[in-house]
A = this chain, B = another copy of it.
Amino acid sequence: MKTAGMTRETVTARLRAHGIQPTHQRIEIAHALFSRMEHMSADQVLALVNERHAETSKATVYNTLKLFVETRLVREVIVDPAKVFYDPNTTPHHHFFDVESGEITDIDAADISISGLPALPAGKVAAGIDLIIRIRANA
C-alpha cells in the first residue's frame, strides 16, 4: 500500500476498480483516507474534506463511508462506544485500542494465530474476526 503517491488519479482508479462511480465528493473522501492511511471517524473525514472550502455535506460523508464499507474499500472499526472509525487498511489485521486516549494502532494478523474456535452456529458464516487489545497507561 503506497501512501505517498496517493494522488486523486490513483484514488479515482481505485474507486472504479471497486465499481464505484467516482464523483467529486467520493474522490475527496477516499483521498482523505488513503493519503493518510489513518483510522478516522466520520466527523474527522467531514472536517478534512471541507478544510479548504466546504463542498461535502454530512449526509454525503455518511452515505459514502457506508458505500465504501459495503464495497470493502475500507473497513469499519468498532472499538469506541461513542463512534465508528473507518480504516483504509483492508489487509487482515487487528487493533490496539488505548482506552484513555482513544488511539488505535494496527496489529498485523500474519503474526497471530487463534486456535480452538468453536464451530459457527448452524447456517451462519463468519463476516469478520475482530481482535481488540484494550490498553491503558501502566500506573
Q: Are B138 and A134 in contact (CB under 8 A)?
A: no
Residue A115 at the B interface, CB < 8 A? yes
Bound CA span A127–B132, Å: 10
- The complex is assembled from copies of this chain, and their number is 2
Q: Which residues of B contact A98 (CB under 8 A)?
A: 124
A70-109 contacts to B, CB under 8 A, are: 76, 78-81, 84, 96, 98-99, 105, 107
Docked Cα-Cα span, A137 to B136, in Å, equals 36
Query: Please, which residue of chain B has its CB at the minimum distance from the CB of A79?
Result: B78
Given A81-B76, A116-B112, do A132 and B135 touch, yes or no (CB 8 Å)?
Answer: no
- Report whether over half of chain A's contact residues are helix, strand or loop; otherwise say mixed: strand
Q: Is the CB of A99 within 8 A of B121?
A: no
Contact with B along A45-80 (1 / 0, CB 8 A): 000000000000000000000000000000010111
- How far, in whole Å, are A137 and B124 apart by their CA atoms in the complex? 4
Q: Assess whether A129 is interfacial by the CB under 8 Å rule.
A: yes
Give bound CA distance, A16 to B40, whole Å: 42
Interface contact A116-B127, CB-CB below 8 Å: no
**Shortest distance from the beta carbon of A103 to any chain B beta carbon, whole Å:** 9
**A99: chain B residues within 8 A (beta carbon):** 127
Q: Tell me whether A117 is interfacial, beta carbon within 8 Å.
A: yes
- Which residues of A does B touch, CB under 8 Å? 76, 78-81, 84, 96, 98-99, 105, 107, 111-118, 120-121, 123-138
